[in-house]
Amino acid sequence: MSSIINLIPVLAFLVLMLLISVYVQKSSEDDRQKNFAKDYFIGGRTLGGFVLAMTTAATYSSVSTFVGGPGMAWIIGYGWLYMAIVQVVVIFLVLGVFGKKIALVARRIDAVTVIDVLRARYKSNFLANFAAVVIVGFFCATMVAQFVGAAKLFEAVTGYSYLTGLSLFGLIVVFYTTIGGFKGVAITDSFCAIAMIAGMCLLFGAMMETGGGFDNIMKHISTNHPDMLEPLSRGKMPISLYISQWLLVGICTLALPQSVVRGISFKNTQALHRAIVIGTVVIGAMTLVATVIGVLSKGILTGDLASYGGSVDNITPLTIVKSMGPFWAGVTIIGPIAATISTVSSLLLAASSSIIKDVYMNHLASQGKELANDSVRNLSLAATVILGLAVYAIAITPPSVIWIINMFAFGGLQTAFFWVLIFGLFWYKANKNGAIAAMVGGVLVYCATMAMKIKVLDLHQIVIGIGVSLIFFLVGNSFGKTVDDETLEIFFPERFDN
Amino acid sequence: MKRSEKFRQANREAKATILATIAVIAFWWVAGFGLADVNISYLHTPLWVWGGCLGTWIFAILVTLYLTKYVFVDFDLDDKEEGK
């Protein structure tokens, strides 16, 4: 099984990503001489509509779009697809609600990160530093989980060892993110999004051939697994799960900092409008095709779960191996690898910007010191590469605590940022005390209820996290001072109109 | 456009986006759960799958086209024509 043939396509793709990043680095040299942080962490606010759409969609869709999701669809059936399709709202929601407002504010205060915006709004170093800790901690755990998922898939499909796969794409993504910066990440993300769709279409086509066509596979499923054709899947998909998913992977993703930061990065309103449409087309297509593949693989992998190693994560690799020869399997696997590296690259850069820009540079500024542009450059590059290599090293043998943090990460980030961002940008009375209470209290309560498996009405703990965070915000807010006029003028100029 | 007018417009667009999301959720519910008991299949795939999954995607695209054409407005993001 393990032959050089199924390594070549992935290798070629990864080398292409590297070349793009080298090119971006060369062509941005002038901008980086002037203001390194602005070019490196936010791409100088020059993204066009297509790239903005692709990078937002590619960052959002991860290795689980290819592995965990289709695996569950193999068990549940179309109910899982019906639930997954809620993700069509995620791109237009974040760009439509926050896009213009955060773009206007960021230009005014010269913000590079989401935390820059929060610091300017709430005037609290504690809030900014806590947010940085939340981002770095949860992002690192997510990156490790992404690496592990992709390396396992790589091993199952190509026959090369876990460590070979991990080292191959793990080291390359760290390296290209470090040199390419935000613009490099955005452009490579666009290629990754295209590779994901291409990989899915290839697999879909090969499955059709193996299974004797869509109608034939569906006939098999409707005869043998009629439960897979019901939205509630005979109790396997309760309504509470639908509601939980609408919140967890739909509405609450609004506040994920890795998505919101893209609101600072685009060139003009035309780009934003185009990205809203293109992004919705792309995220919907990815979700549909990937999950339909999972459903249809029931016609290819007809045994029970135990005969496939007892884990739904084995479904996608086995489907690939069973429907294609080694070369095409090697091409198809570019898709999930692309999904992984496009998520990791964005998280890695956002995490290193938090460390350097939000914490370190700000700490120096509070002592009246300012870093020279060259020092910013060296520190930023060093932070990105060191953090990336640390994540790679942890992914070789991840300790169990990583899985716990990873389980908390998605909802934890949403709880931390949801009300703090929404109220910060849309409610002029929101103040520092409310924001701190909402972020700190919300995250703690969310993680505690996750750890203790406490649920309300059988809904996911995100409901508790978001609900408690809202109450904390309103209570904390009533003890705080009203915001000063200067801040109000930056964030709510419409209040000064008569 | 004055800076304050841009912010008013951004607020309006944010509200419209929320309404659009509610519309997508409503469509998703009706075209999926609402059709779950209809006994029509195409390619051995029941109607609610086509409506609730493929339909929701297409509906969401139409919604974004409507938003960006009729609700969202182009303006300069920089502060050139600053006015209090």
| Span A328-386, pLDDT tens digits | 998 999 999 999 999 999 999 999 999 999 999 999 988 988 889 999 999 999 999 99
Best of A85, A237, A240, A427 to mutate (most B CBs within 10 Å, chain B) = A85
Each residue of A414-465: pLDDT tens digit? 999 999 999 999 999 999 999 999 999 999 999 999 988 888 888 899 999 9
Collapse the DSSP code of A460 into the 3-class scheme (helix H, G, I; strand E, B; otherwise coil) and give the result.
Answer: coil
* Spatial separation of the C-alpha atoms in residues A259 and A425, rounded to whole Å: 16
> How is residue A308 written in tokens?
């496939």
Cα A326 from Cα A318, distance rounded (Å): 12
* Residue A225 lies inside a defined structural domain of this protein: yes
Range of the domain at A366: 4-397
CA–CA separation, A55 vs A9, rounded Å?
A: 22
Q: Would you state the pLDDT for residue A364?
A: 92
* A421 assigned to some structural domain: no
**Listed residue (A125, A98, A131) closest to A432, CA to CA:** A125
Q: How far is CA A213 from CA A81, A217, A224, A300, in A?
A: 20, 6, 17, 11
- Interface list for A 280-319 with B (CB within 8 A): 280-281, 284-285, 287-288
> Which of A100, A221, A265 is the mutation pick for testing B, counting most B CBs within 10 A?
A100
> Smallest Cβ distance to B61: which of A98, A251, A280?
A280
pTM of the model: 0.92
| Closest-CA residue of chain B to A268 | B77
- Judge contact between A197 and A280, C-beta under 8 A: no
Distances (CA, A) of A102 to A112, A129, B80: 11, 20, 17
Residue A477 inside a domain? The answer is: no
**Distance in Å from the first CA to the final CA of chain B:** 12
Say whether B84 and A246 touch across the interface (CB within 8 A).
no
- Max alpha carbon distance in chain A (Å)? 73
Residue A459 counted as domain residue: no
Q: Which of A350, A319, A343, A345 is CA-nearest to residue A332?
A: A319
Q: How many residues does chain B have?
A: 84
Give pLDDT, residue A311: 87
Whether A2 shows a pLDDT value over 60: the answer reads no
Provide, as residue numbers in chain A, all residues whose Cβ is less than 8 Å from the Cβ of B43.
214-215, 218
CA angle A435, A441, A443 (to 5 degrees): 100
CATH number, position A334? 1.20.1730.10
Write out pLDDT tens, residues B9-32. 999 999 999 999 999 999 999 999
- A424, A194 contact by CB (below 8 A): no
Asked, for residue A429, whether it belongs to a domain, the answer is no
A373-396 and A162-211 helices, crossing angle to 10°: 70
What is the reported pLDDT for B83? 42
Q: Cα(A260)–Cα(A243) distance, rounded to whole angstroms? A: 23
The per-residue pLDDT for B80 is 63
Phi, psi of A457 (to 5 degrees): 55, 30
Mean pLDDT confidence for A138-153: 93
Write the DSSP symbol of residue B37: T
Has residue B84 got a pLDDT over 70? no
Q: Total structural domains in chain A?
A: 1
Cα–Cα dist A191/A50, whole Å? 11
Give the DSSP letter of residue A307: G
